[in-house]
Amino acid sequence: MNGLDGALHVVVSAEKGRVASVRIASPRRNVAAIFVGRTPGEAASLAKNLFSLCPMAQSLAALSAGEAALGVVPDASALRRRALDLLCERLGEMLRASLLDWPGEGAPDPETIAVLRQTLQNLRDLPGSSEPAATHAKLENAAKSLGLRDFARGDGFFGRQWAETVADDKDWKLQPRQADFLRASDDADVALAMKERGFALEPRLAGRCVETGACARQGVHAENLSARIAARYADMASALDAVAMLVDGGSPPEGLLVAENTGAGEGFAAVESARGRLYHAMTLDEAGRIAQYAIVAPTEWSFHPQGPFVQALHGALVGEGEAARLRIARLAFAFDPCIRVGVELRDAAHA
């Protein structure tokens, strides 16, 4: 894989600057089998330690699927704390990736990195804080410093990132397409499909290759990169607003965490994680241990071999050389995989 082992390997063939074909090779393996033979409680603890990205979302998905399989219904207080945990982790993951993974012209300056570090700590502290409103105020100040809400004015890191995106958008063009979003209303179909072997690594719903993540949550049918980046900013701002509502005594966002008993000893959970809708499902044996387990992560939807990333890129006018390779990497960033991405650009005439 040309030194890209361990990364999502995107091979693009282009002719005269226009994408002719896209191939994705993924090193990802579904790790669900590691949960078999364990109790639901053990699965939740293992998930938190096993996944380096979104460990809270993974753990709560496992915990909620286990509770559903056992017929346990958590109380309102527990659900409220879980919602705060999820939203704080989502915002933190999106901020970290936005600043550190952007294929831009340089790393964030030391001041920006300092703001990010303190913000991530505040997000970790907020769910258990005795003064959550004060902690949220610090988050709002950080968002202002980074330019999250005023990016179009050129404020902070996000203002610079936005300006770079808009300037580059003038030199390339994606193919128009109507996005098909994964929504909470699809959960029942996903729960049924997760019983099928092989579904988790290349998920489709009745032939649909759906998109999940920021654009899906915001309902943005993006036709260029800047629209996708703007949806990402809006999604982070929405998460910050949802945290404020919970701190003020409001209800969690609808569909944030859903759990259902799908049969005797069967539990299913859906969680809106940083990169999109995450699913866990389990079946318990007569001893109360896990006999079957399945996980469908957001990356498997968005980077399906015929999925939304490939659809957006196929036929796109991306230009040539290093500038084209960088544009493709930025589009991959906007679809937000939970794995490093390597881009290889080939001339279609010699591919």
Mean pLDDT (the chain, rounded): 92
Q: Can you give the chain as a three-state secondary structure string? A: CCCCCCCEEEEEEEECCEEEEEEEECCCCCCHHHHCCCCHHHHHHHHHHHCCCCHHHHHHHHHHHHHHHHCCCCCHHHHHHHHHHHHHHHHHHHHHHHHHCCCCCCCCCHHHHHHHHHHHHHHHHHHHCCCHHHHHHHHHHHHHHHCCCCHHHCCHHHHHHHHHHHHHHCCCECCCCCCCECCHHHHHHHHHHCCCCCCCCCCCECCECCECCHHHHHCCCCCCHHHHHHHHHHHHHHHHHHHHHHHCCCCCCCCCEEEEEEECCEEEEEEEECCEEEEEEEEECCCCCEEEEEEECHHHHHCCCCCHHHHHHCCCECCCHHHHHHHHHHHHHHHCCCCCEEEEEEEHHHC
Tokens found for residue 141? 């100040």
pLDDT of the residue at 3 = 35
Contact indicator for 16, 4 with CB cutoff of 8 Å? no
Please tell me which residue, 8 or 85, carries the higher pLDDT value: 85
pTM of the model as a whole: 0.93
For the segment 244-248, the average pLDDT, to the nearest whole number, is 96
pLDDT of the residue at 350 = 59
Q: How confident is the model at residue 102 (pLDDT cuts 50, 70, 90)?
A: very high
Task: Enumerate residues 6+ apart whose C-beta is below 8 A from 142.
Answer: 115, 118, 119, 122
For the segment 50-63, the average pLDDT, to the nearest whole number, is 94
Q: How confident is the model at residue 29 (pLDDT cuts 50, 70, 90)?
A: confident
Q: Pick the range with the lowest mean pLDDT from 4-13, 169-178, 247-256.
A: 4-13
Task: Enumerate residues 6+ apart whose C-beta is below 8 A from 183.
Answer: 216, 255
Q: Does residue 94 have a pLDDT over 90?
A: yes
Place of tokens 């069967």: 266
Q: Does residue 337 have a pLDDT over 60?
A: yes
pLDDT of the residue at 50 = 92
Q: What's the rounded Cα separation, in Å, for the pair 60 and 162? A: 33
- pLDDT (tens digit, 9 = 90+) per residue, 68-85? 999 999 999 999 999 999
Max mean pLDDT range (1-5, 190-194, 304-308):
190-194
Please tell me which residue, 27 or 18, carries the higher pLDDT value: 18
- pLDDT (tens digit, 9 = 90+) per residue, 197-241? 889 888 999 878 899 999 999 999 998 999 999 999 999 999 999
Tokens found for residue 104? 């831009």
**Domains of the chain, start order:** 8-350 (1.10.645.10)
